Structure 1
Amino acid sequence: MSNSPERQRWKMLLALTCAFALSQAYRTVAAIMAPSLQQDFGLSAQGLGLFSGMFHLAFGGLQLAMGIGVDMHGVRRTVLAAFPLAIAGALLSAMAPGFGTLLLGQALIGIGCAPAFLVCTVFIARQFPPHRFASVSGLVLAIGGMGMLLTGTPLAWLIEAWSWRAGFLALALLSVLAWLAVLRWVREPAAGQAGSVRRETLGGALRGFAQLFTFPHTWGILALGAVSYASFVTLRGLWLGPMMVERHGLSLVEAGNVAVLVTVVALVGPPLFGRLDPGERTRRRWIVGYGLASAALFAVAAFGLGLAGDLAVLVVLSLVLGFMVLQYADVRSAYPMAMTGRALSLFTMSMFLGVALVQWLTGLAAGAAQAAGLPIPAVVLGALAAILAAGVAAFAWLPRPPRPGQH
């Protein structure tokens, strides 16, 4: 019986992670759907970037609202209210007669998925001891990342057998099951217990978010947050498929197999870095070092090393980018406990608005490369290297959080 509360916490966290896994699938569909969408709707490289970026723009833009929702109404109510929009968006996308309707579907999916990862991190911060935050978050990232496996070989096979519309229908069905899991298993803590809903006004919640910007170290945290996760999702969720098809002549299913390989390796990184978390005193040096290493790997991949060489670089890069879980631990320790939920939601907002920005920028880079007759994969990967390096520099040079115990 002594372990019953622990088991209950894990059951609720697993249900929340199911919704997060579906959001991971939705945000990476473009990598496999790209050739079919370009054929059906005549999309340019910029149009493809807009399609993929619309999810992240809606997802990131709603983080503030979702953070307020979690603070005022709780984790369970926020997910149950928002996630049906993802189901509606998937169904609308499956039936889209034109590109405009497809973009609307992507926006609805992004809004519906907006609380998916935020509620997991807030739940962990409130329900688990601080020293377990990095390791539990890493495990959730790994489990939730399995949603990306759906957009590898399985989705490629489904698209080749039927169409990209069938892919959206399948994701809609899985989303219904995830919503039912949250309805069945997740419960709000009773008043007065850890993680219970705080009663406050909307104005008070907004002032709480505004207060985060009075901390000098917020800006460096947001700068790197906006590009680190974005660099991986932009590669895995948008350009990996076109890169494998155009640079190496792979079929869609073969490109899907590469996506599965990259995803499986990426699932190992977060729990590994979560367990290796060195703590507050040296964590930021680790973040800078692994961030620069990731930028260097993007730069190496830009040159093109043949299929085997590119695969090797992508595998190492996917593992190293797992350092991003340390950024969440950094946010967790950089603010007073009372501000943790809001700080995590602001950081999450920067991550996914950053994805929309980085995907748009790489779309512009791809368009410029196409106009100049340059190889698109090389230009896109070079742009990702430069963007990530700039984020790391901002994180390293802008003000740091106070030392432990100085909050």
Structure 2
Amino acid sequence: MSFRADSTRADPAGAASSPTSDHRTARALGPWASLLLLTTGFALSQAFRTVAAIMAAPLQGEFHLSPQQLGLFAGAFHFAFGALQLFMGIGIDLHGLRRTVLFASPLMVLGAAVSALATSFPLLVAGQVLIGVGCAPAFLVCTVYIARHFPAERFAAVSGTILAVGSVGMLVTGTPLAWLIEASSWRMGFWVLGLAAVLSWVAIALWVHEPMPAAAPGAPRESLGQAVRTFGQLFRLPHTLGIVLFSLVTYASFVALRGLWLGPLMMQRHGWSLVAAGNLAIVLSVVSLIGPPLFGRLDPGPRPRRRWLFWLSIVGAVLLAALALVTRPAVDVALVLAFGLLSGYMVLQYPDVKNAYAPAVTGRAMALFTMAMFMGVALMQWLTGAIASAAQAHGVEPFSAVFGSIAAMLVAGALAFRLLPQPASVTNDAR
């Protein structure tokens, strides 16, 4: 099987050709309507993965958590989310995205209930693992749907729009969650998100009808074993290593800031209240909504896109390094918001990955990328938690150590992306 990137044919309506009865149903609903319903699951995933920034203080108070334990709590979701991407990608390619998301999503509801009822730290972590598994296909199904039902030249722009729409989930874990916690408790936050997950599942079950991609005439159906071997072959391609190493640190740098350390930073470094930190979190979330559609529309094409990804990552690392060194409240707020706006450039990774692999393995290629991205989030949150604990033990301001280490990791990932072998689509474009 060839793994080079090929163009995807699209019909005049903008949807990839797949002449099945289910496809006619999906087109009757409209590709945008189906995509937006799938995005509700992604929005919930965004909310669940960023609760730690606002829940950190009450959880530390109730369970007496160390910074390292707090990092483990935040990282458990992302570890489970990332570890399941391989299986979610295979499930999408073999059984369709609708079946895959409907099978996994109930675990999101179960995990929310376990978290809300948790009486110990291990139960709290177990709840996060279940939520991570339930959310695992959330954005992957959106990217595969876009690849199958929208013209190739619109992939970056549509992905950027969906990233922005789905990131509305982060708004919930700003001021609204802070108010809810102060009025009730952190447990109520999980109950509310669990109810929203039920509504999302019902909506997708009722109204999303996405067909399987049309197979070549006479082609045998791919078995599970063949699918796993095909996934493994992605690792044999020389350009995969650079993509994976870069993916480990990009989104992780944003989630480490917004999803874990923002609340503690403002509350412990500057003495802000929980609601004040929540207000900043919601402003950061709003600012971060601007970047993905903006950079998606500015997508310059394969070869310059990779230069943009490298240099914008370096700029992001500079902002994080400044956040480590400067301790004035106004400057910290400005740096946080600047990084949130800049983080939208990460949407360019999606068309980069799509162009690097053949359409037949789009689901698995996106799954590999998403797996690396969220395993990176889990590792970065766990590692920065350990770094913060070590810094405190040695009398060093923990946030300087945390953000300095994130900046260093982002630079290392960008260098790997720039210096390791490039995909054939990029080298061919350069000729």
Structure 2 length as normaliser, TM-score? 0.91
In the alignment, which residue of structure 2 is the partner of 1:156? 178
1:6 deviates by 8.2
Q: In the alignment, is the contact (CA less than 8 A) between 2:90 and 2:363 conserved in 1?
A: no
The amino acid across from 1:380 in the alignment is: V
Aligned residue in 2 for 1:40: 62
- Secondary structure of the residue aligned to 2:424 is coil
Alignment pair present for 1:145 and 2:182: no
Shift of 1:2: 6.9
Q: How does 1:218-233 map to 2 (within 5 A)?
A: 218-233=240-255
Spell out, residue by residue over 1:302-357, the C-alpha distance to the aligned partner (whole angstroms, 9 max, x if none).
11241111111111111111111111110011112222221111000000000011
Corresponding residue for 1:60? 82
| Contact 1:28 1:148 (C-alpha < 8 Å) held by counterparts | yes
CA contact (8 A) 1:136 1:274 kept: yes
User: In the TM superposition, what is the alpha-carbon distance from 1:109 to its structure 2 partner?
Assistant: 0.3
Cα distance in 1 between the residues matched to 2:54 and 2:287: 18
Change (3 A) 1:294 1:172: same
> Partner of 1:331: helix, strand, or coil?
helix
Question: What letter is aligned with 1:393?
Answer: L
In structure 2, do the counterparts of structure 1 residues 135 and 296 end up closer, same or farther at CA, with 3 Å as the change threshold?
A: same
Give, in whole Å, the separation in 2 of the partners of 1:12 and 1:378.
44
Aligned to 1:363: 385
2:340: which partner in 1?
A: 318
Distance 2:99 2:13 in 1: 28
Aligned-partner residue type, residue 182 of structure 1 = I
Superposed displacement of residue 191, structure 1: 6.6
Residue deviations 1:160-195 (CA, integer Å, cap 9, x gap): 11100000001001111111111121102267389x
- Where do residues 8-87 of structure 1 align in structure 2 (5 Å cutoff)? 8-87=30-109
- What aligned pairs does 1:195-274 form with structure 2 within 5 A after superposition? 199-274=221-296
Alignment correspondent of 1:376: 398
Decide which of 311, 321, 327 is 1:299's aligned counterpart: 321
Q: Take 1:164 and 1:57, find their aligned partners in 2: how far apart are those partners? A: 22
Q: Which amino acid aligns with 2:347?
A: V
Aligned length: 405
- Aligned match for 2:331, one of 300, 306, 309: 309
Which residue in the other structure is 1:134 paired with?
156
The code of the aligned residue for 2:90 comes to I
Q: 1:44-77 CA distances to partner (integer Å, 9 max, x unpaired)? A: 0000000000000100000001111111111101
2:144–2:363 contact (8 Å) kept in structure 1: yes
**Secondary structure at the counterpart of residue 247 of structure 1:** helix
The change in CA–CA distance for 1:314 and 1:203 in structure 2 (over 3 A counts) is same
Contact 1:11 1:185 in 2 (8 A): no
Match of 1:186 among 208, 222, 228: 208
| Cα-to-partner distance string for 1:264-317 (whole Å, 9 max, x where unaligned) | 111111110000000112110000010100011100111124111111111111
1:389 aligns with 2:428: no
Paired with 2:355 and 2:93, the residues of 1 have a C-alpha distance of 19
Partner SS for 2:45: helix
Shift of 1:19: 0.3
Q: How far apart are the structure 1 equivalents of 2:13 and 2:358?
A: 30
Question: Aligned partners of 1:12, 1:184: CA distance in 2, in Å?
Answer: 11
2:238 counterpart letter in structure 1: P
Report the counterpart of residue 171 of structure 1 in structure 2. Answer: 193
Over the residues paired in the alignment, what is the CA RMSD in angstroms?
Answer: 1.9
User: Over residues 375-399 of structure 1, what are the superposed CA-to-partner deviations in whole Å (9 max), with x where a residue is unaligned?
Assistant: 1111111111011111001101111
**Match for 2:420: what amino acid?**
L
CA distance in 1, matches of 2:363, 2:85: 11
Measure the CA separation in 2 of the matches of 1:76 and 1:17: 12
Give, in angstroms, the shift of residue 404 of structure 1. 5.1
The aligned counterpart of 2:27 is 5
The 1-side partners of 2:46 and 2:239 are apart by 29
Q: Which runs of 4+ in 1 moved over 2 A?
A: 1-7, 190-194, 403-407
- Contact kept in structure 1, 2:355 and 2:425, CA below 8 Å: no
3-state DSSP of counterpart to 1:277: coil
Q: Distance in 2 between matches of 1:113 and 1:272?
A: 26
Contact in 1 for aligned 2:239/2:420 (Cα 8 Å): yes
Return the alpha-carbon distance in structure 1 between the equivalents of residues 139 and 128 of structure 2.
Answer: 18
Cα gap change, 1:53 to 1:128, in 2 (>3 Å): same
Q: 1:119, 1:403 → 2: CA distance?
A: 24
> Is the deviation greater in 138-147 or in 296-305?
296-305
134 and 45 in structure 1: CA distance in 2 versus 1, 3 angstrom threshold: same
Question: 1:14-66: CA deviations, max 9, x gaps?
Answer: 01100000000000000000000001000000000000000001000000011
- Give the drift of 1:142: 0.3
Equivalent position amino acid for 2:152 in 1: P
- Show structure 1 runs of 5+ residues with no match: none
> Which SS does the other structure have where 2:195 is aligned?
helix
1:405, CA displacement in angstroms?
A: 8.6
* Displacement after TM superposition at 1:207 (Å): 1.0
Pick aligned residue for 1:276 from 294, 298, 302 = 298
Within 2, Cα distance between the matches of 1:6 and 1:133?
21
* 1:334 equivalent in alignment to 2:393: no
Q: Secondary structure at the match of 2:105?
A: helix
Looking at structure 2, the residues matched to 148 and 210 of structure 1 have their Cα atoms a distance apart, in angstroms, of 34
Distance in 2 between residues matched to 1:80 and 1:276, nearest whole Å: 34
TM-score by length of 1: 0.96
